[in-house]
Structure 1
Amino acid sequence: MEVEAMSCECCGLDEECTGEYIGGVRAYFGGRWLCGLCSEAVKYEAGKCASAGAAPDVEEAVRAHMAICRMLKSGGPAGRVAEGMRQMLRTASWKKASSSSTSSRPSPSPREHHRASPVSVWL
């Protein structure tokens, strides 16, 4: 038996498989190669549609799963939140660095320090 390395068209995971197995996977998924994890997810999704009374639409399930994998590869919601947090920290550290360079200014008098700001009056 000859083994080939295949790369999943959804998630990019590499697997080593026999030619017979590769042919079966491609036949089931419309010519696409999917790793074991993605193929199980697609089968599950297609099965959910079939249990609702409709015929299992493997092609639609593959497209939906590929869209999810693309989103996750690009960072997805968690990646966007993490990037936003990094940007906030960069901004905060930049402001902190610039305020420490201006710390040579005289500090406000105690009277100015306790003065209410217009924003706090409206809250």
Structure 2
Amino acid sequence: MEVGAVECAKCECCGLAEDCTRDYILGVRAAFGGRWLCGLCAEAVRDEAARGATATATTRRSPAGGAAAAGAGAGLEEALRDHMAFCGKCRRSPAFRVADGMRQMLRRCSK
């Protein structure tokens, strides 16, 4: 079994860089409209989209289920937009920058 080449991908939400195979990167981008998200951000977006879909389904029930199915993609896009806005606020915080710098320094020291 051949392992694909490993590439570095940077999360478009939080900026975390991860080493992943090209196939994995393409799969994540396909799931999130061309954007690459780290595992933590991807799970947060999926969770928020599921919560939004549940709230929408209980608010407006469709007998055929067509509206709920059509809204699933829109819910994911909205959850992604909201999560990116949240991460943008956190990234601007000086405390976050200090914590991120410490994380990078510790990562370099452990290699």
User: What's the TM-score once normalised by structure 2's chain length?
Assistant: 0.65
Separation of aligned partners in 1, 2:54 and 2:78? 15
Equivalent residue, structure 1, for 2:18 = 15
Which of the residues 89, 96, 101 maps onto 1:71?
89
1:7-42 Cα deviation digits (max 9, x unpaired)? 000000000111111111001100000000000000
Separation of aligned partners in 1, 2:90 and 2:81? 14
Query: Percentage identity across aligned positions?
Result: 56
1:81-122 Cα deviation digits (max 9, x unpaired)? xxxxxxxxxxxxxxxxxxxxxxxxxxxxxxxxxxxxxxxxxx
Corresponding residue pairs, total: 78
Equivalent residue, structure 1, for 2:106 = none
Q: CA RMSD in A?
A: 1.8
Give matches, 1:1-123, under 5 Å: 1-52=4-55, 53=57, 54=68, 55-56=71-72, 57-75=75-93
Larger radius of gyration: 1
Separation of aligned partners in 2, 1:18 and 1:42? 22
Paired residue type of 1:65 = H
Separation of aligned partners in 2, 1:75 and 1:19? 32
- Greater RCO (CA < 8 Å, at least 6 residues apart): 2
Consecutive unaligned residues of structure 2, counting only runs of 5 or more, are: 58-67, 97-111
* Greater helix proportion: 2
